[in-house]
Amino acid sequence: PEEHAELIKRCKPERGDILLTRIGSLGDTKLIDWDVVASIYVSLALLKLKADVCSEYLYAYTKSRQFVSDVESRALLNASPKKINMKDIGDIPVFTPPSRAEQRAIGALFLDMDAEIAALERRREKTQQIKQGMMQELLTGRTRLIDPPEGAPA
């Protein structure tokens, strides 16, 4: 509890902030879209947004090839595991539409697409499980698709 209180003085995650991995798997991001009481470790960067930037837009931007490339290009060359310094994260240019309404619309579009992709991936996974079960039943002979003709071995 004391350590948590000390950590959140400097860096308190809140709804609308973005977490970014800065050590190891660089540049993975997560939009904090829930109320959270947490402290974060040095391997994460906490992105606090300016008032004129929509969090959903910035989150979508962090998934772009341009942003990922900018993160990779600023990584320390000799660090193992890979690492990016906080100052270098702050130096990454972020291109934003001038109006929050447009940013919100763009962010919402990509969040909806992410949700659709996740639903399709769940459906694919379930379909693969059904296929595996059917293969087990049909290829071992436990289940037959048609009745064998009279006189044929079962």
Sequence ranges of the domains in the chain: 2-139
> Which H/E stretch holds residue 126?
helix 100-139
* pTM of the entire predicted model: 0.77
**Which is nearest to 19 in space by CA: 52, 44, 56, 41?**
44
Instruction: Please tell me the predicted confidence (pLDDT) of residue 79.
Output: 85
Residue by residue, pLDDT tens for the chain (154 residues) are: 677 777 777 778 899 999 999 999 999 999 999 998 888 888 899 999 999 999 999 999 999 999 999 999 999 988 889 999 999 999 999 999 999 999 999 999 999 999 999 999 999 999 999 999 999 999 998 988 887 778 766 6
Q: What are phi and psi of 44, to 5 degrees?
A: -115, 145
Residue of 17, 82, 6, 97 lying closest to 43 (CA atoms): 82
For domain 2-139, give its CATH number from 3.90.1150.10, 3.40.50.300, 3.40.190.10, 3.90.220.20.
3.90.220.20
